Amino acid sequence: MVTLLAKPIVLLGFMGSGKSTLGRQLAHQLRVEFVDLDRQVEINAGISIPEIFAHLGEKKFREIESQVLREALDVQSGIIAIGGGAPCNEINIRLIKQKTVSVYLKISIPELAARLASSPTPRPLLEGKTLEETMKSIVDLLNQRETYYNQADLILESDSITPALLLNALKNFLP
Ligand code: S3P
């Protein structure tokens, strides 16, 4: 049986913060649907995210991402993991605030760098960078993005988060 939540739960945060992994686990525990927005973007475009960046550019990627986010927020009532850049404009963060319970999975910079260095997921914004350059990109992007991430309903220090801790933090928002 699939449960219905009053509002979808959106997991947001930087690349490598575990949104998809935790989201999938939480959805399983709550018996709700799980949506990975990056996968929806790829389905919508018919090509992978690195291919979208390479052939269509970041601007087009952001347009598709925003469109897919709007569609997901209209129909979903489960857990939605969104890409690190998806909440980072005024329109998208407003939609997220209006229509969802949002959780910022906040990860420390050293932990992000370590995870991203060993992640098999290709991420065009960090492609080909040394560890030092990756650290600088993380710091620069977080500086631009935290103003959006910090608007989430819940901000969780998440270096050691587990599905059980996430579930506990969300208990006031669940039916
Ligand atoms: C991006 C994050 C990625 C993906 C794309 C751009 C970003 O998703 O959407 O590579 O701008 O932070 P994850 O946060 O799931 O890695």
Residue whose Cα lies nearest atom 1 of ligand 1: it is: 84
**Pocket of ligand 1, candidates 15, 20, 105, 118: which has the most ligand atoms within 8 Å of its Cβ, to mutate?**
15
What distance in Å separates the CA atoms of residue 168 and residue 26, rounded to the nearest whole number? 11
Distance 173 CA to ligand 1 centre (A): 26
When the candidates are 3.40.50.300, 3.30.365.10, 3.60.15.10, 3.30.160.270, the CATH number that belongs to 9-159 is 3.40.50.300
Mean pLDDT in consecutive groups of 10 residues from the start of the chain, 175 residues: 78 97 95 96 97 98 98 91 98 97 97 93 93 95 98 97 94 82
Instruction: Dihedral sign for Cα 11, 13, 14, 18, please.
Output: negative
pLDDT given for residue 165 in this prediction: 95
Structure tokens at 33: 């649907």
pLDDT given for residue 1 in this prediction: 52
20 Cα nearest atom in ligand 1: 15
Q: What letters, b where the CB count within 10 A reaches 16 and e where it falls short, cover 33-66?
A: bbbbbbebbbeebeeebeebbeeeeeeebbebbb
pLDDT given for residue 158 in this prediction: 96
Structure tokens at 7: 């509002």
Q: Are 107 and 158 in contact (CB under 8 A)?
A: yes
- pTM, rounded to two decimals: 0.96
Ligand 1 binding pocket includes 123 (Cβ within 6 Å): yes
Ligand 1 binding pocket includes 42 (Cβ within 6 Å): no
Domain boundaries, the chain: 9-159
Distance 1 CA to ligand 1 centre (A): 31
- DSSP 8-state secondary structure symbol assigned to residue 104: E
65 Cα nearest atom in ligand 1: 9
Q: Are 84 and 14 in contact (CB under 8 A)?
A: yes
What is the separation, in whole angstroms, between the first and last Cα of the chain? 15
pLDDT given for residue 2 in this prediction: 58
